[in-house]
Structure 1
Amino acid sequence: MPKSPAPVAPASSIAEFEHSLDELEQLVTRMEGGELSLDESLKSFERGIGLYRHCQTALEQAELRVRLLLDPEAPETAEPFDSHID
C-alpha cells in the first residue's frame, strides 16, 4: 500500500515563520544599534535564540516535505532534480 503524501503546511505555519524571521531581524537591528541596556540585551538575545530555533525547525520541516515530495518511498535518499537547462 503506497504511503500517503505529506500533509500540506497550513498558511498559518508559513505566516508564523515569516513573523518569527521578521521579529528576529528587528531584534538584531536593535541589538546592533547599541542602545539597549545589559538587561534588555540579554532578554533580546534570549528571545532571538528562541526565534532562531523556531525558524530552524520550520526550515527543517520544509526540507523534509520537499524530500517526501521528491521521493515518497525513500525520502532519506531523495536528490533534488537538476534545474540547470542548457
Structure 2
Amino acid sequence: MKARVTVTLKNGVLDPQGKAIEGGLAALGFAGVGHVRQGKVFDIELSGRSAEQARADLAEMCEKLLANTVIENYAIEIV
C-alpha cells in the first residue's frame, strides 16, 4: 500500500522560503503570484498493514519524525 504525507507550516508561522519563492517567481515575470507557502511531501510504501493500521502508523511517524507539530500540520492520504 502506498501513502502520501503532506507537511505544511501552520497558519501564522513565517515562511521565509515561501517568500523567497514568491520573489523569484515575480523576478521571472510571473505576475499575480502571491502568498506562496512551501511544504514537504513524503511518498511512503507500507506492507503488511490494513488501511486503518497504516493510517495510525503514519500518524505516529508524523508525530515522532516527519513533522514538527509545534509549527507544522500534516495530512495523510492512502493511495
In the superposition, the TM-score normalised over structure 2's length comes to 0.26
Give the structure with the larger helix fraction. 1
Larger Rg: 1
Q: Which has the higher contact order (CA 8 A, sep 6+)?
A: 2
In the superposition, the TM-score normalised over structure 1's length comes to 0.25
Give the structure with the larger strand fraction. 2
